[in-house]
Amino acid sequence: MSNEPSDALGAQHNDPSFDDVWEEIRWRGLVHVSTNEQALKELLAGEPITYYCGFDPTAPSLHLGNLVQLLLMRRLQLAGHKPLGLVGGSTGLIGDPRPTAERTLNTRDTVADWVELLEKQVSKFLSFEGENAARLVNNLDWTGPLSAIDFLREIGKHFRVGTMLKKDAVSARLNSEAGISYSEFSYQVLQGMDFLELYRSYGCVLQTGGSDQWGNLTSGIELIHKSEGVSVHAIGTPLITNSDGSKFGKSEGNAIWLDPAMVSPYAFYQFWLNTDDADVISRLKVFTFLTRDEITRFETLVATEPFRREAQRELAWQATSLVHGVDAAEAAIAASQALFGQGDLATLDAATLEAALRGLKHTTTLGSTPIVQALVDTELVDSLSAARRAVEAGGVYANNQKIHDPLATVAEHTLPGGMTVLRRGKKSLAGVFVE
C-alpha cells in the first residue's frame, strides 16, 4: 500500500505526467459526454474558471455516484479552478424524474435537515482555503423568494415544451404507465435556472454531473445562451457500472452510502476489496489519486498475479481512507485480518466488530445455546450431526479458538459486547449476538 494515502486534502495532487487536467480526466474515464471538447480543453488550461455541481438532498447521505462528482470537482480545483458545491434545498423538494415512477415528496423540515448533512459531506472533499477556495450554495436562496408569475415570465419563457419533451428522463416517463407530473417535468427548468443564477452571481461557466443528467445540464446551457447570449459548458461523467453491466454502488437496490452510520467503514472497505479483476483498474482511476504510473503497475499485477489481489487491496485502502479517514481504514483492515485468525479480535473496537458481523450471516441467541446449534442457526452447517462432525474434525473456531467440545456453549466464547465470531474451516464465517 502507498505510504501516503489520500486522507488529507493536502496529500492530493493531479498527475504531472499529463499535459493538462483535461487530458487527465479523459484518461481517468471521467468524461462520457461534454460540450465542445477542444473549447473545454482550452478553457481548463487557461485562467481559473468557476464551475459547479449540484447535489439534491433526496436522502440523508451522498453515495458513490456522488463521490464521482466530488472527485472530479476536486481534480478541477487542484488544477486551479474555483468550485461551487450546490446543495439543492429547492430542487430536493421535488427531485429529478426517475425512469419509472414519481418520487415520494419529503417534508420541508426533512429536506432542510438533509441539506445540512450533505453540506457537511461535500465540505470534506473540497478545500475552502486559498485563492480558489470552494463555496457552498443552496438554490433555495434564490428559488424560495421567486413568485410563480416571475418564474414563468423570467425563466419559463425561454423553454420550449417540444424540446423539454425530448429529454431522455421525460420521454421515458411519458412512455411509462405512471406518466409524469408537472412538478417533475419542471425540474429541468429549475436546474437550468440554477446555472443561470450561478453564472450571473459568480461567473460560473461549467457544470458537471452524471451523464444521466445530461438533459438537465443542457437546459442550463440553453437558458444562458438565450438569456445572456453567451456559451457555457458541461461535462457528463459516465454512469459507473460493473463489467457485467450491473449498476455500480447498488446492492439489492441499496446504495453504498458515504455516511458511516448507513454503511460502516468496514462494509465500505469490503465493498472495494471484493471488486472484480475486470473493474479494479477503472475504479483506481476514478476513485483514487494514484498516478498513471502507479495504476499501470497495478494493471500489470492484475494481469500477471491476480490471485494476490494487490490492486483490490490498494483500492479498498485508498477509497476507505479517502471517505472515512486513515484510522477507519486501518480498523477495517485489522478487523478483516482478525476475523480470519490473523489478529486479536479482543483488540477491535466494538462498533467495527459489530459492523463486520452484521455483514455476515448472523443470529441472535442465548448464551446457553450450544456452539453446534449456533453453527446450524448461522447456516455454516446444515444439521446438528454435521456440526458435531465438524467440531470433532477440528474445523470449528469461536473467536479464533478451536472448539474441541461439542457441548461447548456460546457463553463460554463471547467477547465483550456479547459477540462471537464463528468460523468453519479457513474461510466460512458467521456472527452470533448474545441476548
Q: What is the CATH number of the domain that holds 393?
A: 3.10.290.10
In a domain, 22, yes or no: no
Whether the pLDDT of residue 30 is over 70: the answer is yes
Whether the pLDDT of residue 161 is over 50: the answer is yes
84 and 217, same domain (yes or no): yes
Whether the pLDDT of residue 434 is over 70: the answer is yes
Q: Which three cell numbers, joined as nine digits, stand for 395?
A: 474445523
Whether the pLDDT of residue 243 is over 90: the answer is no
Compute the average pLDDT of residues 335-359.
Answer: 90
> Where is 413: in which H helix or E strand?
none
The model's pTM: 0.90
What is the Cα 127 distance to its own chain's centre?
19
Last residue of a domain, one of 239, 273, 304: 239
Give the tens place of pLDDT for each residue, 204-229: 999 999 998 899 999 999 999 999 99
In a domain, 5, yes or no: no
384/305 Cα distance (integer angstroms): 40
Provide the percentage of residues in the chain whose pLDDT is more than 90. 79
In a domain, 8, yes or no: no
> Where is 123: in which H helix or E strand?
helix 108-123
Rg (CA), the chain: 25
The predicted structure's pLDDT at residue 253: 57
The structural domain count of the chain equals 3
Contacts of residue 69, defined as CB under 8 A and 6 or more positions apart, other chains included, come to: 53, 55, 208, 209, 210, 237
Contacts of residue 420, defined as CB under 8 A and 6 or more positions apart, other chains included, come to: 374, 398, 399, 410, 413, 414, 431, 432, 433, 434
Whether the pLDDT of residue 1 is over 60: the answer is no
- Which range of 26-35, 235-244, 253-262 scores highest in mean pLDDT? It is 26-35
The predicted structure's pLDDT at residue 6: 41
At 400 the three-state DSSP class reads coil
Contacts of residue 350, defined as CB under 8 A and 6 or more positions apart, other chains included, come to: 416, 417, 419
Residue 233: give the domain boundaries: 31-239
In a domain, 4, yes or no: no
Report yes or no: 242 and 276 within 8 Å, Cβ to Cβ. yes
**How far is the CA of 379 from the CAs of 113, 259, 333, 364, in angstroms?**
41, 30, 25, 13
DSSP strand pairing (250-251 vs 254-255):
antiparallel
Q: Mean pLDDT lowest for which of 91-100, 139-148, 266-275, 350-359?
A: 91-100
127 and 147, same domain (yes or no): yes
122 and 249, same domain (yes or no): no
**How far is the CA of 127 from the CAs of 75, 84, 290, 401, in angstroms?**
11, 11, 19, 48
> Where is 432: in which H helix or E strand?
strand 428-434
In a domain, 435, yes or no: yes
- Which single residue is written with the C-alpha cell 474558471? 49
Q: What is the CATH number of the domain that holds 235?
A: 3.40.50.620
In a domain, 25, yes or no: no
Q: What is the CATH number of the domain that holds 247?
A: 1.10.240.10
216 and 265, same domain (yes or no): no
Handedness of CA 20, 24, 27, 33 (dihedral sign): negative
Question: What is the average pLDDT score of the chain?
Answer: 92
Q: Mean pLDDT lowest for which of 87-91, 93-97, 270-274, 431-435?
A: 93-97
